[in-house]
Chains A and B, each alone.
Chain A
């Protein structure tokens, strides 16, 4: 966990005071909505279909148990008893009253939580691997660099009014759980041949109306040069990024239109002028940030404790363990993924009661720490293997032990037309129906790793472009229809999915997905061949034929 210092706390508290005054002036009429809108967006406050939506920052997806309890309190006191974890490791509340927002923010500030820059044309949450700091094989904890970037980008005077929103993601593992290739700037932390730690810098990823996979503009930037190099990128973007057309304003459009070589050249020219200036990070500064991250003191524990051996006879426990428990860098410990995708439930939601209970479990079994993944699940990053049976029993009692992580019913979905004013179609009921169709865990395991992503509109908050199966809601003559893509992926081999055919109506989507899965089971070369690899091998046509043969 990162410990905020006096500057951080003062900033958050001053922001609450400032926003409280802004809300007061809005409600008294001193500020018009046009004047207020930009201010509320800078604090993560949207207007949606039914109510205001409040997006709260969870920096690089790391929460303390106290913070999770406070989120539960906000859900209970100011909202309707639940929150939604997002594809950017944040949390959203859907029913907040503007008049009560300053109080909610003040309550959150007491535990170091804020909502700065969770919306608006500025730099958003710097996301990272939800297993950062604990996964085997990681170069070093990428959250240290996420925090450096967070501090650098917060209230940056030059980059607070960008052409459009700007998103960073950082990974430090070979397998990219942070989806860096679909971010405006993606950073892959690694050691070069000389043993130096630095970053491969990728730019211009993004989804939405014009999806792009990010391109490498510099294969290695030393850690000490990270901020100056990022500043050079953002200056080129700020200078050349389009402000005349909201749909062409992201950096991905600029990289595409200039070409990656020219863009990289522009960045290099800018960087050469500033690389040795005040943004050069010295070792002391990096160490200062690193020192504010605390890590547990792990016990020396056996890999196969008696508690685990005895629990192995319990088929339900074993099914959950095989699905949701992952290796940890410390012997005798595990990373536990908490699925927020119950059968028939809205993906990514947790009730206030669940949050409170999970906070208690984090205290008991995970050194008080919880992580939020971009796939809308949570994780307990430091669980002793001897505690797994007891943890599972407790999770199961509160509905947080669905053993479907990375399987077909572990669906990523945006809020869709049930909540969002931008949406064309609903996404959550589609996800709910699909979890019911694939509720049988044996079937889901037979299918294997399969990521379904659902977006209610082309803004792609559900990341449908990079789903193994992507579902995009559109509107045709006032009715909900859905385009289906297959073959996308968001990891280190990121690819955009390919459309399989004409959009299908709402009540046929689940049937189509079942047909696609049936096709995969018939076509896969071996039981171990993943869906996405079968699509890669065979292309879209065999699936298209089967899905549309009778439609």
Chain B
């Protein structure tokens, strides 16, 4: 789980996606093949080579308005093409903290 912030080179050793945080609220998002963002990992575009990853990342970074802090994250492809997070960091980002929280959503005034 070395922070992606510390990764200098793009090295693809397994299927990967581009992920970021949505600008207006910080929600976790994934870059789709249609050059949009989705909060669903299963809708993410999967890349398998460094060139593909670089292109997808560049496409993502160009959307400076919609997303912040884009980077390449590993995934695992399961049965039926289901995409799962490829490490603990991405699991936490996709499914939430591993500890109990008092509430799950903000209580509107």
Contact = CB atoms under 8 A, between A and B. Distances in A.
A51 B96 CA distance: 11
Interface string B92-109: 110011110111111111
Contact of A346 (B69, B99, B105): B99
A425 interface: yes
B15 to A, nearest CB: 15
B5 A421 contact: yes
A54 to B, nearest CB: 10
| Residue among A82, A95, A423, A432 facing the most chain B CB atoms (10 A cut-off) | A95
A16 to B, nearest CB: 19
Nearest to A49: B93
B14 to A, nearest CB: 11
A97 interface: yes
Interface stretch (A72-80, A113-121, A277-285): A72-80
B1 A425 contact: yes
Interface in B11-33: 21, 23-28
B34 interface: no
Given A421-B5, A475-B1, A51 B21 contact: yes
Interface string B65-109: 100110000000000000000011100110011110111111111
A421 B21 CA distance: 11
B24 A97 contact: yes
Nearest to A457: B3
B28 A50 contact: yes
Contacts of B103: 80-82
Contacts of B2: 424, 475
A81 B88 contact: no
B26 A51 contact: yes
B16 to A, nearest CB: 14
A462 to B, nearest CB: 15
B64 interface: yes
Contacts of B68: 33, 47
Contacts of A49: 28, 89, 92-93
Interface residues of B, number: 34
| Residue among B21, B26, B102 facing the most chain A CB atoms (10 A cut-off) | B26
Given A29-B65, A421-B3, A96 B26 contact: yes
Contacts of B27: 50-51
A398 interface: no
A424 B92 CA distance: 12
A95 B101 CA distance: 12
A426 interface: yes
A483 interface: no
Interface in A93-143: 95-99
Interface string A1-35: 00000000000000000000000001101001100
B64 A424 contact: no
Contacts of B92: 49-50, 417-418
Contacts of A438: none
Contacts of B64: 29, 32-33
Given A49-B93, A76-B106, A424 B1 contact: yes
A51 B25 contact: yes
Contacts of B105: 80
A25 to B, nearest CB: 11
B26 A97 contact: yes
Contacts of A99: 24-25
Interface in A40-79: 47-52, 76-79
Nearest to B89: A417
B106 A79 contact: yes
Nearest to B65: A29
Contacts of B1: 417, 423-425, 475, 478, 480
Nearest to B67: A33
A351 interface: yes
Nearest to B90: A49
Given A97-B25, A99-B24, A475-B1, A432 B102 contact: no
A418 to B, nearest CB: 4
A348 to B, nearest CB: 12
Given A49-B89, A79-B106, A423-B3, A418 B24 contact: no
A428 B99 contact: yes
| Residue among B21, B24, B89, B106 facing the most chain A CB atoms (10 A cut-off) | B106
Contact of A98 (B3, B25, B28, B87): B25
B58 to A, nearest CB: 15
A273 B53 CA distance: 57
A432 B97 CA distance: 14
A475 B1 CA distance: 6
Contacts of B106: 76-81, 95
Contact of A82 (B3, B69, B101): B101
Interface in A413-452: 417-419, 421-426, 428-429, 432
Contacts of A352: 102
A84 to B, nearest CB: 11
Contacts of A346: 99
B23 A98 contact: yes
A76 B93 contact: no
Given A47-B26, A76-B106, A80-B103, A418 B69 contact: no
Interface in A465-484: 475, 478, 480
A506 B104 CA distance: 26
Given A81-B103, A95-B106, 9 more contacts: A48-B26, A51-B25, A81-B101, A96-B26, A418-B98, A421-B5, A475-B2, A478-B87, A480-B1
23 contacts: A27-B65, A29-B64, A32-B64, A33-B64, A47-B68, A47-B69, A49-B92, A50-B21, A50-B26, A50-B27, A51-B26, A76-B106, A80-B102, A81-B106, A81-B107, A95-B26, A97-B26, A98-B26, A351-B102, A417-B1, A418-B97, A418-B99, A432-B99
The 8 closest A-B pairs by CB, nearest first: A51-B26, A81-B103, A97-B25, A52-B26, A418-B97, A29-B65, A99-B24, A351-B102
